[in-house]
Chain A
């Protein structure tokens, strides 16, 4: 619990690569794993460092940025409005596929439902017009069809191969 006169409580998070993050309480509480840490350790000291052994600094910084903005949107009653959509679109625009995957794994570990849903939808949108080869590379899937088998599957669904983005 925050002490009297202390306006904002800061939560300390430590990533797998040893970086220490100082996060405002409402933002850190977006992470279900952090919330339950404090629920389970009610008498934890204010300067307790929460270890996050499965998250490294880069995705955590990205997640904090996203959650911070969304906590503010909710406080301003802007949830669901155009500015949120705008922020979300800007947020993912610069992210590479690799960064997206790291974000989704981290958001999954931290258990942030809303962000996880947004990231999954983003990936689906990014992949929907892509080629089979692109998707294989994205998920690291080996092609186990023989050339004849693959040809047969493709022929059957020829219409689905029209208008696909270049890799």
Chain B
């Protein structure tokens, strides 16, 4: 309080500069600071500038996989200031032909298995900005018992550290057995903590977790209950599992369950969102209201028919690929872009207001130079958003 009495105030130029650096949620709140700010934040030029700033903060990790072989090459891309051209930050080659089981991304960091045959060093942390790679001692248990595993990399704001999460699963149905967590720091401080999921759960399909406000979420199935699909949350700070959340739209088919792998978790308005195709030409976006009860509210409906500049290959949300990775929201209520992966190697911004698809130009030449495209080669794109 004492600060408020005395004081110098910053001129308007600084106010403008500071505002463009704020996240959308803060801007929306600060519309009620005063009329001038409300007008400024609602101004279409300002929100365009801000939205572009958000779009340019995206870093794309692209993994090219040789078909039938499990090794590949990685490239990272940074979007330009308009968010429509992706510049290659340089390819990253693995030290030895790596066997790839899982990769995880968080901000500009990537966590991956790089040499499965060696028992001591199969985890690496790689920084896409500095191109620095270092090895991380794995949890002993998982390498002794060659189980399948998923990797997750999260930022824990409470301890201000990145945490590596290894989820080990076993059996045909990929039952989640254990969860190992390690805070990244200096090497002698790093040790793994182990916990066991509260529910018998299967994580067979595309494991694409998302972190929203310090909670890590993933989609799982409950095998003993006719393959119920649910969302499993875990608190990143306390490393505790939380009560499971039923999905708003359980898949129609009971066995084998096929609906959930088309579902995709997202973050929007600092809440958990779920993108789910309900028919070949309709995809619903749900948002989870955590404040009172866990209720899902339908936020958007995306229809193939009304899409502007629809890619020719996108004919069905079931057969075609339309994988939403993230949403950048404008401080104007309606505007916003969703970063969508269409084919294995093409990305689009979907404008939630005008329903327009905008292709992101990516320079893949450098990557082809590293590893010429074979006939059966394919891309698998993994994305990550950088914070600053």
Inter-chain contact B32/A137, CB cutoff 8 Å: no
Interchain CA distance A139-B7 in the complex, whole Å:
10
Tell me how far the C-beta of A76 lies from the nearest C-beta in chain B, rounded to whole angstroms: 16
Inter-chain contact A160/B26, CB cutoff 8 Å: yes
Interchain CA distance A127-B7 in the complex, whole Å:
17
Inter-chain contact A135/B31, CB cutoff 8 Å: no
For chain B residues 1-45, which have a beta carbon within 8 Å of chain A?
A: 3-4, 6-10, 14-15, 17-18, 21-23, 25-26, 28-38
Inter-chain contact A80/B10, CB cutoff 8 Å: no
CB-CB < 8 A to B29: which residues of A? Answer: 132, 157, 160-161, 164
Interchain CA distance A154-B8 in the complex, whole Å:
28
A136 adjacent to chain B (CB < 8 Å): yes
Inter-chain contact B9/A127, CB cutoff 8 Å: no
Interchain CA distance A135-B28 in the complex, whole Å:
13
Q: A127-B18, A159-B271 are in contact. Are A153 and B31 (CB under 8 A)?
A: yes
A148 adjacent to chain B (CB < 8 Å): no
Interchain CA distance A159-B269 in the complex, whole Å:
7
Q: A124-B18, A159-B269, A163-B270 are in contact. Are A80 and B30 (CB under 8 A)?
A: no
Inter-chain contact A150/B32, CB cutoff 8 Å: yes
Inter-chain contact B8/A102, CB cutoff 8 Å: yes
Chain A window 73-103, contacts with chain B (Cβ cutoff 8 Å), 1 for yes, 0 for no: 0000000100000000000000011100110
Inter-chain contact B23/A128, CB cutoff 8 Å: yes
A129 adjacent to chain B (CB < 8 Å): yes
For chain A residues 97-116, which have a beta carbon within 8 Å of chain B?
A: 97-98, 101-102, 104-105, 108
Interchain CA distance A91-B271 in the complex, whole Å:
33
CB-CB < 8 A to B8: which residues of A? Answer: 98, 101-102, 105
B291 adjacent to chain A (CB < 8 Å): yes
Dominant secondary structure at the A interface: helix
Inter-chain contact B3/A139, CB cutoff 8 Å: no
With beta carbons under 8 angstroms apart, the residue of A97, A129, A157 that contacts B31 is A157
A19 adjacent to chain B (CB < 8 Å): no
Tell me how far the C-beta of B328 lies from the nearest C-beta in chain A, rounded to whole angstroms: 16
CB-CB < 8 A to B35: which residues of A? Answer: 144-145
Give the residue name and chain of the A residue nearest to B38 (CB): A153
Give 16 new A-B contacts, CB below 8 A, not counting A141-B33, A163-B270. A102-B8, A120-B17, A127-B26, A128-B26, A137-B3, A139-B9, A140-B9, A141-B37, A143-B33, A157-B28, A157-B29, A157-B32, A157-B333, A159-B25, A163-B213, A164-B29
Chain A interface (Cβ within 8 Å of chain B)?
Answer: 80, 96-98, 101-102, 104-105, 108, 120-121, 123-124, 127-129, 132, 135-137, 139-145, 150, 153-154, 156-157, 159-164
